[in-house]
Amino acid sequence: MKNKKGKLFINLLAAVIIATTPIVAYCSESDPIDSLNVSNYYRRLSIGLNIPTYRDFATSPLFYNGYGILLQTSWFKNSIRRERDLQIGLTLNNMSARIPKSNYIQPKTNAVFAQLNLRYNRLFQLKSISNEKVNYKLGGLAQTTQNFRINQNLQNNAIGLENITNLMVSAQMTRDVSRNRQRTFNFGLFKIRRSPVKRDLRFQLNYGIANFNYRPGYAYTYVPEINGSETSFIKFLRSSYKWSYFDGQRLNTDLEFIIYLPNGNANSWSYTWDIAHVPGNYQAFQMASHQIRYRLYFHAKKR
Amino acid sequence: MKKLIILFILSFSLFSCEKIIFKPDLGSKDPLDNFDYLWNEVDKKYSYFELKSIDWDVMRNKYRAKLSKNSNEEELFTVMANMLNELKDDHTNLVSPFNISRYDIRLKSADNSYFRTIQKHYINDIWVPESGIAHGFLNGNKVGYIMYPSFLINFSDDEMDLILNRYKNTNGIIIDLRNNGGGSLLNVPRLLGRFIETKTLVAYSIMRNGEKRNQFGSKQPFYITPHKGLRYNKPIVVLTDRGSYSATTFFALATKALPNITLIGDTTGGGGGIPNGGQLPNGWTYRFSVSQTLDLNGNNYAENGVPPDIEASFDWTDLTKDEILEKALAELQ
């Protein structure tokens, strides 16, 4: 109990510090005219491959692995000084259990897994350690992930609907890897000329400092199914779920290679890794995903 | 360039955190691992040890001794299935790719239903729509008859409106739930709500909420709310037998609180607990009861079956007559 209270206090304190400390004043000069002049607004659309894994100890000791597609959209404002991003993403995945090889008939346990993700990120430049080539930013991120899992083999426990919400500290490094002069590659019969192009390599790490989750009860059975007073499907599914506060861990990283086009748009390839461990009130839930994503940046306006 | 290389190495090294954060893979085809996993899950969550006087520790010692690390899958299935059948619970099954274990209370009891007798000798023009809910007139159009074969059938409001409207001028309705093995509990209030005028408490449920075998949560009330549309408020007779299981047992127990409904036939098969679902380390799946259904006095006999108000049984030597249906018709005269 003491350790839990101590952990709760530390997490609360960190959340309050991130929310209220004037990071803007510490991280960058107060120069509203400059930041306004160089902010770029983008609408970003992404599509990608998602490789998820999960394990729900409430119903199975087995890992479920699979493949799926990823669709994302975001409203992104970026300048040297600051960054703001509101992102909505959806993944749709086909999963199967990692089962030892049988000497008789291999059990088949397939599941469908969809995930809706909403995140809001704000970053501010760390001016003291940034330079023209490498820009460092620090900030916070709020993320909520809603899972929808269906596994018919688990009968009355076929549906899983956990929610994982996190307040995270966010650190980013952007390195300018532009080609500043024309380069010519001579292959004898032909030559390839590569024009100057602006490019960035960006790495971001987010770590959860206040983690919340919404998981089912002890026996994973739903109260309205028993009490008969409620036949609404949504209430029937959600009634036995309980929130667990300041519980669990979450970490995600993103490595992105961005190429800017002369017209102000851009495109990028990125690799994102996300992992969460959710103890809940009773049995834990674990998930991880690897995403390869292609993203288009549509430049809205410069201010 | 050096910084780029460091960045790449750092990025990929973080991915190995998955093994640190996740516990080891617990998938296993070791027979003893799977036996222990199943025994522990039942121990932590099964709801009827006390009612059925089952010493689960004795069962562990008895059945684990029949297995070794070299037991094959067929032997493992047989041992675990026999152990689960000690619970005497048709909500308890072990599902492997080659077989499913069943206690099958219906096969251990008298059969009291033969629909062909009703079709041939009682109802000339029986309606059997796509849903499977058969219905027709009995006794010179004075009594309505509805055969609901499974609570898995999600009837629409329109369909039930049509049925009840058809029999609105009868003296009573017979609802035949014999051999109805249960299904969705959500259909119990949907059907019963058609036959009451006020919100009525009909039963309670308690659910395992801790690792001790007698650890249950608080009593959850089971109410039936009147349907907002068309209702039928004349006498109802419900026919049951040992094949009436699970949601049908819930239905039968609920009728004990409703004065306009009479149960006729044989005790239901039981199945008063809600089953869960889970998976073993070798990929097989299972289910077992994790709750109890209690009557208004707090008694949990529903697991062993709800007794009828009037007992009757089917005489298989005369297939032109359904004695249980005859008793129901006499009750509605």
CATH of the domain at B162: 3.90.226.10
Q: What is the pLDDT of residue A177?
A: 93
Confidence class of residue A125 from pLDDT cuts 50, 70 and 90? very high
Shortest Cα–Cα distance, B83 to chain A (Å): 20
- pLDDT above 90 (res A90): yes
> CB–CB of A105 and B284 under 8 A?
no
**Count of CB atoms situated within 10 Å of the CB of B57:** 11
Instruction: Please tell me which residue, B264 or A283, carries the higher pLDDT value.
Output: B264
With a pLDDT cut of 90, the percent of chain B lying above it is 80
> CB–CB of A98 and B96 under 8 A?
no
Q: Please, are residues B293 and B300 in contact by the beta-carbon 8 Å criterion?
A: yes
Q: Does B226 contact A at CB distance below 8 Å?
A: no
Q: Does B11 contact A at CB distance below 8 Å?
A: yes
> CB–CB of A61 and B225 under 8 A?
no
Q: Does A104 contact B at CB distance below 8 Å?
A: yes
Distance (Å, whole) CA A302 – CA A262: 14
- pLDDT above 90 (res A183): no
Distance (Å, whole) CA A79 – CA A27: 14
Instruction: Classify B104 in phi/psi space as left (phi over 0), alpha (psi -120 to 50) or beta.
Output: left
Candidates B23, B155, B185, B191: best to mutate against A (most CBs of A within 10 A) is B185
Mean pLDDT over A49-58 rounds to: 96
Q: Please, are residues A107 and B283 in contact by the beta-carbon 8 Å criterion?
A: yes
The answer to whether residue B82 sits within a structural domain is no
List Cβ neighbours of A247 (8 Å cut-off, separation of 6 or more): A211, A212, A213, A278, A279, A280
Confidence class of residue B127 from pLDDT cuts 50, 70 and 90? very high
Instruction: Please tell me which residue, A28 or A108, carries the higher pLDDT value.
Output: A108
- pLDDT above 90 (res A192): no
- pLDDT above 50 (res B276): yes
| Domain count within chain A | 1
A249: closest chain B residue by CA: B21
> CB–CB of B73 and A104 under 8 A?
yes
The CATH number of residue A285's host domain is 2.40.128.90
Q: Does A61 contact B at CB distance below 8 Å?
A: yes
Confidence class of residue A33 from pLDDT cuts 50, 70 and 90? very low
A148: Cα separation from own chain's centroid: 16
Instruction: Please tell me which residue, A139 or A235, carries the higher pLDDT value.
Output: A139
Phi, psi values for residue A291, rounded to 5°: -125, 135
Q: What is the pLDDT of residue B13?
A: 56
- pLDDT above 80 (res B9): no
Confidence class of residue A24 from pLDDT cuts 50, 70 and 90? very low
Shortest Cα–Cα distance, B332 to chain A (Å): 28
Residue-number span of the structural domain to which A221 is assigned = 2-302
Distance (Å, whole) CA A97 – CA A61: 10
Query: Which residues of chain A lie closer than 8 angstroms to B278, CB-CB?
Result: 59-60, 154, 157
Query: Which residues of chain B lie closer than 8 angstroms to A154, CB-CB?
Result: 277-279, 285
Query: Which residues of chain A lie closer than 8 angstroms to B26, CB-CB?
Result: 61-62
The answer to whether residue B33 sits within a structural domain is no
Instruction: Please tell me which residue, A155 or B149, carries the higher pLDDT value.
Output: B149
* Interface A-B: count of C-beta contacts within 8 A: 178
Rounded to 10°, the helix B73-85/B31-45 angle is: 20
Confidence class of residue B124 from pLDDT cuts 50, 70 and 90? confident
Q: Which of B:239-268 have CB within 8 Å of A?
A: 250, 254
- pLDDT above 50 (res A23): no
Q: What is the pLDDT of residue B64?
A: 97
**Structure tokens given for A58:** 């409430």
- pLDDT above 60 (res B7): no
- pLDDT above 60 (res A231): no
Q: What is the pLDDT of residue A11?
A: 62
**Count of CB atoms situated within 10 Å of the CB of A211:** 22
Q: What is the pLDDT of residue A261?
A: 92
Residue located via tokens 């100057």: A196
B222: closest chain A residue by CA: A227
The answer to whether residue B85 sits within a structural domain is no
Phi, psi values for residue A15, rounded to 5°: -65, -40
The answer to whether residue B147 sits within a structural domain is yes
With a pLDDT cut of 90, the percent of chain A lying above it is 62
Q: What is the pLDDT of residue A179?
A: 87
- For B148, the 3-state DSSP assignment is coil
> CB–CB of A201 and B7 under 8 A?
yes
Q: Which of B:92-111 have CB within 8 Å of A?
A: 95-98
Confidence class of residue B290 from pLDDT cuts 50, 70 and 90? very high
Residue located via tokens 């949560």: B217
Candidates A178, A231, A250, A290: best to mutate against B (most CBs of B within 10 A) is A231
- pLDDT above 90 (res A27): no
What integer best gives the mean pLDDT of chain A?
Answer: 85
Distance (Å, whole) CA A224 – CA B329: 35
Mean pLDDT over B78-98 rounds to: 96
- pLDDT above 70 (res B17): no
Q: Does A98 contact B at CB distance below 8 Å?
A: yes
Among A1-15, A46-60, A73-87, the minimum mean pLDDT is found in A1-15
Q: What is the pLDDT of residue B22?
A: 84
- pLDDT above 80 (res A240): no
A219 bridge partner residues: none
**Structure tokens given for A124:** 């501010």
Q: What is the pLDDT of residue A229?
A: 56
Mean pLDDT over A213-229 rounds to: 71
Q: Does B46 contact A at CB distance below 8 Å?
A: no
Confidence class of residue B262 from pLDDT cuts 50, 70 and 90? very high
List Cβ neighbours of A47 (8 Å cut-off, separation of 6 or more): A69, A70, A71, A72, A293, A294
- For B183, the 3-state DSSP assignment is strand
Mean pLDDT over A200-216 rounds to: 94
Q: What is the pLDDT of residue A28?
A: 37
A255 bridge partner residues: A203, A271
Q: What is the pLDDT of residue A88?
A: 98
The per-residue pLDDT for range B190-247, each reduced to its tens digit, is 999 999 999 999 999 998 989 999 999 889 888 899 999 999 999 999 999 999 999 9
> Which of A221, A231, A288 is opposite residue B189, by nearest beta carbon?
A231
This complex has an ipTM of 0.84
Residue-number span of the structural domain to which B300 is assigned = 108-271+291-331
**What's the one-letter identity of residue A78?**
N
| Domain count within chain B | 1
Distance (Å, whole) CA B29 – CA B26: 10
> CB–CB of A175 and B277 under 8 A?
no
Confidence class of residue B1 from pLDDT cuts 50, 70 and 90? low
